[in-house]
Amino acid sequence: MMDLGWMGWTPFTATFFAVIASLLVTMTVWEIARPGGAPRRGVLGFETTRGDRLFVSLLGSAFIHLGWLFFGGTDLWWALGVSVLYAFAVFRWV
């Protein structure tokens, strides 16, 4: 077995990667169940697919969390809530 102790895994990093993996699996199952996910033009003015909207959601959530750490401190539960609302908005209107 490979020794991964140098990576500094904590329950939080393991949860983070598990959530990302589950999002990718969910998007794959969604695409298999309902193929296509026709591109649409949202408020940003360019065509996006489901995968594009997931990427924009994850990228925006990272910036929300970084901004929260800089301006608001280390209590990231509020940043998580804002990120979830942001992701819903991206999937709805982008």
Q: What angle in degrees, to the nearest 10, is found between the helix axes of 50-71 and 11-33? A: 160
Distances in whole angstroms, Cα of residue 37 to Cα of each of 51, 52, 62, 90, 91: 9, 11, 25, 15, 12
23-75 pLDDT, tens per residue?
999 999 998 998 877 888 888 888 988 889 999 999 999 999 999 999 988 88
Whether the model clears a pTM of 0.75, i.e. scores above it, the answer is: yes
